[in-house]
Amino acid sequence: MKNLVNLLAGFVLVSLLVACGDQDTEDTSAAVTTETAETADEFVARANAELEELGRETAAAEWVRATYITLDTAVIASAASEKYAEWHSGMVKRALAYEGQELSPSTRRAIELLKLSTSAPSPGDAAKRKELARITTDIEGMYGAGKYCRNENACISGSELEQLMADTRDYDELLEYWVGWRQIAVPMRDKYARFVDLANEGARELGYSDLGQMWRSKYDMSPADFEQESARLWDQVKPLYDELHCHVRAKLGEVYGEDKVPQSGPIPAHLLGNMWAQEWAPIYDLIEPHPGVGDIDVDATLKTKNYSPQEMVRSAESFYVSLGLPRLPQTFWERSQFSKPRDREVVCHASAWSLDGKDDLRIKMCIQQTYDELRTIYHELGHNYYQHAYKDQPPLFQRGAHDGFHEAIGDTVTLSMTPGYLAEVGLVNASAEDPRATLNRQMQMALDSIAFLPFGKLIDEWRWGVFSGQITPENYNQAWWDLRTKYQGIAPPVERSDADFDPGAKYHIPANVPYSRYFLARILQFQFQRALCEIAGHDGDLASCSIYGSKEAGEKFYAMMASGQSEPWQDSLEKLTGTREMDATAIIDYFDPLMGYLKEQNNGRSCGW
């Protein structure tokens, strides 16, 4: 949720191929025949060479747009996007000439990934390509520059509103911020509907029924099988989520009153400490099982010792180095955005970047002195180390085994930020572990990881419906809230209408970042951690394991990452875990103490919604 690295990987990967020539797409594609075209191997080799040569230009345009939001950078980014779209449309049409030919597995995989390496394929028509590029740039810029203004002299940015939602406990004040932020999305609605039309047209030109089917084709299985796999994984973890929801609702009812939080229905969406009710950790103080026991106050340490943003990033780097991984290049420290500039608008949403497919690694954040921000940094560097690990792969394979892998690397590392680890690196005081403290920590983690799972699943399910036409612009908002109630058991705190466009108030919708990756990452991180802890020789329960300092675990971890997308994700998974199937049972193992506590607390309550 805090990364657009895979959006950038998809956009940059193909835009790096923007090569060449001023020929119109229709002319170049029409010229391709099996007699005159390159061999498939030559075609892939040329594509990889062009990726390496031209990638930095497009990546730089996107970086400047994200870190300097102005009219001029919008023009630059839109032009780069349009240039990429023209190339991709023509290149994919060339690739179709190799269908039915006998190809090596590597060449066939490269050509298939080329087809799938954009999250918004453009139509072949030049005018429509230009229109799509302009729309995508516009709506992402609208989000990045969005503010809630009480009046013309009192405007609050999105990142400031997020912090207020986390800190405030006043029902009406929370409602004001919640409603206020969603006003930024209303002007996006018609633009988004047009975006859907254009991207669907591009997807159909590539041979897919719609953009959603194209997205679901990226997982080394059929689209239908991927839907079934997502449902299977959700079914594995749903009992734990249901118990958590029931307990949280009861506690919120005690705080705000059961007239505001009915005990037989969904939870009002603005009371969960997060602008989108996607992670609930900010309300931990209301839910803490044993108040004050084993409290891990990393925020206090960061503030008392006055950690700079760079020092917080150094802390994360040191963890990866302890596993035997290299230090980040000096250019990372020179070129990253660690703090919000005072003189311009930027996208503060945290993201990790590789601008050249080699060593130009960066993160983009507006870092605050909080434990949540520190965890985000550890997560973001997971992307950078993954990018570094696969940098020697051909450019077409320089991506995660699937997009969930890319998110899961850093998520896995955050599981090792145990009290023992935090004490070892001086972020908290050392103390003997108390079972009550273990339960507190599990609750805190569940409010983050387990609360997120249904949200992670439904975002793309909504978009699949939009892309297929099952959800029309007239019921965008109603369908959005139907899914949020179905999966999350939450509801809008005030009446919403189809004049609203609440999906657009979530970054990944206007930015067109596929979201299943985050759901899969939350599954994989626990599966990865269980395997890594076994490699590290951990003796004890899974929740107490930190792989900090384990070169053996680091070696296996890095070996899996080094494959990039050169092989099916099942092969990469097997290298680390010994199994070829994603498995959510590691989550159940990890949170076993919490599950017992929740069932005890919910005894006699009416759960469900």
Q: Is the pLDDT of residue 249 over 90?
A: yes
Domain membership flag for residue 506: no
Residues annotated as catalytic are 349-350, 379-380, 383, 407, 508, 518
**Of the candidates 90, 79, 96, the residue with the CA atom closest to the CA atom of residue 17:** 90
Domain membership flag for residue 144: yes
Residue 37: per-residue pLDDT: 65
CA atoms within 13 A on the CB side of 512: 30
Dihedral angle computed from the Cα positions of residues 411, 413, 415 and 421, in that order, rounded to the nearest 10 degrees:
-150
Residue 153 banded pLDDT, cuts 50, 70, 90: confident
Phi, psi of 149 (to 5 degrees): -115, 115
Residue 51: per-residue pLDDT: 76
Instruction: For residues 4 and 66, give the distance between their C-alpha atoms in angstroms, rounded to a whole number.
Output: 11
Provide mean pLDDT across the span 240-262. 98
At 425, the amino acid letter reads V
The percent of residues in the chain predicted with pLDDT above 90, rounded, is 76
Instruction: For residues 335 and 358, give the distance between their C-alpha atoms in angstroms, rounded to a whole number.
Output: 15
| Cβ(264)–Cβ(489) below 8 Å | no
**Of the candidates 500, 509, 475, 498, the residue with the CA atom closest to the CA atom of residue 179:** 500
Structure tokens at 526: 């626990």
Residue 4 banded pLDDT, cuts 50, 70, 90: very low
Mean pLDDT of the chain, nearest integer: 90
If residue 461 lies in a helix (H) or strand (E), which one and from where to where?
helix 435-468
Q: Tell me the pairing of strands 490-491 and 147-151.
A: unpaired
Q: How far is CA 550 from CA 324, 380, 568, in A?
A: 8, 20, 27
Residue 187: per-residue pLDDT: 96
Tens of pLDDT, residue by residue over 71-95, are 899 899 888 877 777 777 778 888 8
Residue 432 banded pLDDT, cuts 50, 70, 90: low
Residue 296 banded pLDDT, cuts 50, 70, 90: confident
Domain membership flag for residue 445: no
Domain membership flag for residue 31: yes
**Of the candidates 109, 121, 96, the residue with the CA atom closest to the CA atom of residue 215:** 121
Domain membership flag for residue 191: yes
Residue 433: per-residue pLDDT: 66
Q: What's the total number of domains in the chain? A: 1
Q: Is the pLDDT of residue 548 over 60?
A: yes
Judged on CB neighbours under 10 Å (0-12, 13-18, 19+), 254 is exposed
Structure tokens at 464: 């699949």
Domain membership flag for residue 242: no
Domain membership flag for residue 184: yes
Provide mean pLDDT across the span 58-78. 90
* Bridge partners of residue 114, in order along the sequence: none
* Bridge partners of residue 351, in order along the sequence: 364
Q: How far is CA 450 from CA 268, 421, 487, in A?
A: 18, 22, 12
Provide mean pLDDT across the span 444-453. 95
Structure tokens at 6: 């895979």
Instruction: For residues 403 and 405, give the distance between their C-alpha atoms in angstroms, rounded to a whole number.
Output: 5
Residue 7: per-residue pLDDT: 38
Residue 283 banded pLDDT, cuts 50, 70, 90: very high
Residue 505 banded pLDDT, cuts 50, 70, 90: very high
* Bridge partners of residue 155, in order along the sequence: 149
Q: How far is CA 403 from CA 107, 507, 524, 565, in A?
A: 21, 18, 11, 10
Tens of pLDDT, residue by residue over 305-350, are 999 999 999 999 999 999 999 999 999 999 999 999 988 888 888 9
Provide mean pLDDT across the span 497-523. 95
Identify the DSSP state of 325. Answer: P
- Domain carrying residue 41: 5-210
Provide mean pLDDT across the span 261-278. 97
Tens of pLDDT, residue by residue over 123-144, are 889 899 899 989 998 998 899 8
Tens of pLDDT, residue by residue over 11-40, are 433 333 333 333 333 333 333 444 446 899
Which DSSP string corresponds to 329-386? PHHHHHH-B-S--SSS----S-EEEESSSSS-EEEE----SSHHHHHHHHHHHHHHHH
Domain membership flag for residue 188: yes
| Cβ(363)–Cβ(380) below 8 Å | yes
Tens of pLDDT, residue by residue over 375-409, are 999 999 999 999 999 999 999 999 999 999 999 99
More confident residue, 86 or 586: 586
